[in-house]
Amino acid sequence: MSKRRLGAAAAACVLGLAPATGAAISYRYVTDSPTYSAGPGALVPVKVYLQETLTGGSHSLLVGDGGLFNAGAAVGYAALPGSEGNGSPATLSTFAFDTSDFSGLTAQNVAPDGSSLDFQEGVGGSASFGPMGIISAAGRIQFLGTLTVEAGGAGNVSTFSLGQDGGSGNTITFKNAFDLDFNGDGTAADGNTYTWTGTDGAVSNFTVAATPEPSTPGLLAIAASAFLARRRAPSESRR
C-alpha cells in the first residue's frame, strides 16, 4: 500500500494528549549491545530496535499517530574487512523479523559475500493500528527483529553500521504515513503537531569479535594447575 493511499485512508483518533509545543523528538536504529564476542565462525544474535528519543516534555509520535505501519533498516561494514585484526571478517547471515508486531509483508536482501543486509516489514492488512514500542529511559523503543552475524576468523574484530535503508524512507507511522527516516513535521491522529529528527545520518556501530579458542596445551595447563591447587589446599590447612 502506498503512502498516498495510507494518508487518504487515515482515520483520526483523539487520545487526549496535551499539545507538544517545543518538544524534541528524534529517531535512531540501535542494537541491544555495542559489542559482541563469540568463537570463530559462531552465529551471533543481534537484536535490532527503533529508538524514539523524547526530550523537553515531548509526547510520543509513535503513540500519537497510531504506531508503525512499516519499518526497515540496513546494516553494512563500517570499516574495510580485514583492517581490524587477524582472520577473515564477520559476515551478515540473515534477519529474523518481529512477526508478532509485523504480521504483513516482509523482505530482506543479503549481499552474496555477507557484507550488507537490508530489511523491511509491515503490519497486517486488517490491523487498525501498529506497534508503538515500550517505554524506555530515552523515550520509547520498538523491537524490529534479530540479525544473525557469523563471527570471523580467530582474532578478528569486525565493525558494522546500522542505519537508514539506502536513502529511502521505509519506516512510517500508521495513520498519516509520517516518514521517520527523514526530518519532518505534521499534525498526527491525536490532533497534536509534532516536529521530529529522522534516522537519516544517525548511525549506530557495533562490533563482533572472534575470540580465539584455547589450544589443547593451554587447556591441559589449566587443568594441571587446578589439580595442583586442590592437592596443595589440604596440606596448607594442616599448618
3-class SS letters over 18-59: CCCCCCEEEEEEEECCCEEEECCCCEEEEEEEEEEEEECCCC
CA distance 194 to 188: 7
Contact (CB, 8 A) for 162 and 170:
no
214 pLDDT above the threshold of 90? no
* H or E stretch covering 97: strand 91-97
49 pLDDT above the threshold of 70? yes
DSSP conformation letters of 120-187: EEE--TT-SS----EE-SSEEEEEEEEEEEE--STTBEEEEEEESSTTS---EETTT--BTTS-EEEE
Angle at 137 between CA 16 and CA 118, to 5 degrees: 95
DSSP label at 10?
-
Q: Which is more confident, 22 or 193?
A: 193
- Pick one of 1.10.3720, 2.60.40, 1.10.3470, 1.10.10 as the CATH number of 3-213: 2.60.40
20 pLDDT above the threshold of 50? no
Task: Please report which confidence band the pLDDT of residue 21 belongs to, taking 50, 70 and 90 as the band edges.
Answer: very low
Beta bridge partners of 159: 207
Q: Which is more confident, 201 or 158?
A: 158
The helix/strand/coil state of 220 is helix
233 pLDDT above the threshold of 80? no
* Parallel/antiparallel/unpaired status of strands 193-197 and 24-31: parallel
- The mean pLDDT value of the chain amounts to 84
Q: Is pTM beyond 0.85 here?
A: no
Contact (CB, 8 A) for 49 and 144:
yes
CA distance 210 to 78: 17
Dihedral sign for Cα 146, 109, 1, 105, please.
negative
7 pLDDT above the threshold of 60? no
102 pLDDT above the threshold of 50? yes
Contact (CB, 8 A) for 70 and 170:
yes
Angle at 234 between CA 230 and CA 235, to 5 degrees: 115
Phi, psi of 148 (to 5 degrees): -105, 125
